[in-house]
Structure 1
């Protein structure tokens, strides 16, 4: 056996062991009874722990979603890339942080989008006309729906990996950018490999409408990177506040691209647009697509889209509030909801934002943090999170009672504690 082949086998075994350790740490043992009628109301009276809600939900769909992508993660192609990825250890390339955050952000299992797609699949059920071979009767979902859940996770992962590319300037000495350039190449290859696998998986499903739907979600992810102004490192900056603009809800159901210009300058409209494109579209269209595979009507599919979109926006609103919690010194994005709402309230702070045109490091983040803590931004963000949470619950409550529906309700409740 060659040394190269031996290294690949060792790498796969180490990766599998790491996944098992991680999932065993996230697993919280608890008996789950689908016949417990009180369980349907649990989210109204409790705030379930995020990891606990995810762990219980994983039991419902058959196995931990952490293993959804294990098949492609341990392929020969990724094993070869991982050998090169080890060379980045010790460098400051953001790809390593991205890889860590994809699985665990320090507190929570973040690989939950495939899980949500599978829970929606089980909660809504499927047409009885589908052949038995297509059904995973033990878990209550279709094999094609499991494949779509994998595609969802792969698209999301590839997008986050691609976002970790560093924009290197021509005037920087080559000896100072060697690690960054190498990391960019690896990130580009990994992201492209995952997207290529998505195309292959979707092709196997032989559903042209589903391919068009998921392709539009990938298009939205790309368009999200071109919304509003950016600094020289391609970090997003909020548009100049326009207090006179009236907020118009986005008509984003369907395959047509969203209008960008009408939303820029209005805090809620711009924030919604950015995150519908970068998150809500993918999760919403994945939920819509899984209902399409189950044979549901277009009206039901549309409700699936709305559920996924509102859940993603509620999730993002909670994440945006985290860096402003008492005592927190975490970095934050200049296009997060609290900052954008505060800019709408006090446009004079935009002078500080403009300092980041050349480099966002020129911005006084602590000054912005203090201003946000003293303004209405956090309360408005919390209100935004509640609106989207309630909208997702309204859609969810249209489904018949089941353990899958209860698990989704618990996840929505647990988002408040992220």
Structure 2
């Protein structure tokens, strides 16, 4: 299976420059923040979000080089994503991310919250300096959506009445909104016709949803080594995802276990086993496949290029993570 990094070959140079710039942008003025940034931007993240921005920028501008605004958009996208991860890890009390200690476990909660705030503020500053009101609105909405997604997830813990629609809405806020709106922003900056701008948004939205559903499947089928966290940790914290919601339709006893928040010995393991014994994983796979197919359909109007091919391959790559 090709690695995700090899998919990004058309934008390797862009991504290398991005990593260097991000460390500089966070700035050497604050040694502790610089250390946190070095820790975050050097933690071997896949850079999927900025890579999508670069690939779309190259796919829509043709042979010319991409605009400086496209480069800055990619940096802003990764900053927003990273800021949200820092805060998520504090909220979820995660000790490790991608096999590396989280910012709060290395630097303490105070610094982690401030580092996340600093990154959000810094991204807003660079966003304003793009001098494109449409893009400012699109990415400001993302920052609101990220907070909304976290709040919804917190309010819906252990809620066995949660609908699949509410789960997808939360997944959009938490994961797909950033990819969708940064993809749409590429179209705005590339001055594309409105229909094509909406198609780029559709690509990002469907790809983001497929990505999140697959993450939620891997929470049941992946190993700690692959996940960088113990399997079933979403279920344990009461975050009910697609496999659980589908399993609840077939296994009524599962709702009893969840409603009492796994209070009795063996409850959680029993719930985990019930989900694996249900059609929940298979139906979640179908849902992910639907969104991945929709994502590729949204690229139909782009001219053939290595970057467009990489964007199509990315949808297949995401699906292969569960096979």
TM range (shorter): 0.7 to 0.9
The answer on 1:411 being equivalent to 2:321 is no
Counterpart residue number, 2:244: 339
Asked if the contact 1:61/1:118 (under 8 Å) is kept, the reply is: yes
Pairwise mapping of residues 3-402 of structure 1 onto structure 2 (< 5 A)?
48-54=2-8, 56-59=9-12, 61=14, 63=16, 65-67=18-20, 69-73=22-26, 75-81=27-33, 99=40, 103-104=43-44, 109-125=45-61, 137=64, 140-166=65-91, 183-227=108-152, 230=155, 237-241=157-161, 265-267=162-164, 269-325=165-221, 330-334=231-235, 335-356=240-261, 364-402=267-305
Of Structure 1 and Structure 2, the greater helix share is in 2
Listed one character per residue, the Cα deviations across residues 193-219 of structure 1 (whole Å, up to 9, x for unaligned) are: 111111111121111121111111111
Corresponding residue SS for 1:150: helix
TM-score of the superposition, structure 1-length normalised?
0.65
CA RMSD of aligned residues (A): 3.0
Radius of gyration: which is bigger? 1
Cα gap change, 1:292 to 1:367, in 2 (>3 Å)? same
Structure 1 residues 159, 229: closer, same or farther in 2, change over 3 A? closer
Structure 1: how far apart are the matches of 2:297 and 2:281? 24
Give CA deviations for 1:62-108 in whole Å, capped at 9, x if unaligned. Answer: 746544523225x224523356x6xxxxxxxxxx9xx49x834xxxx
Whether the 8 Å contact between 2:15 and 2:50 is mirrored in structure 1 is no
With over 3 angstroms needed to count, the CA separation of the structure-2 counterparts of 1:53 and 1:210, relative to structure 1, is same
Partners of 2:149 and 2:265 in 1: CA distance = 24
CA distance in 1, matches of 2:50, 2:92: 30
Unaligned runs of 5+ in 2: 94-103, 225-229
What TM-score, normalized by structure 2, do the two folds share? 0.82
Distance 2:205 2:181 in 1: 8
> Taking structure 1 as reference, are residues 384 and 67 closer, same or farther at Cα in structure 2, changes over 3 Å only?
farther
Question: Structure 1: which 5+ runs fail to align?
Answer: 1-46, 86-95, 127-135, 169-178, 231-235, 242-264
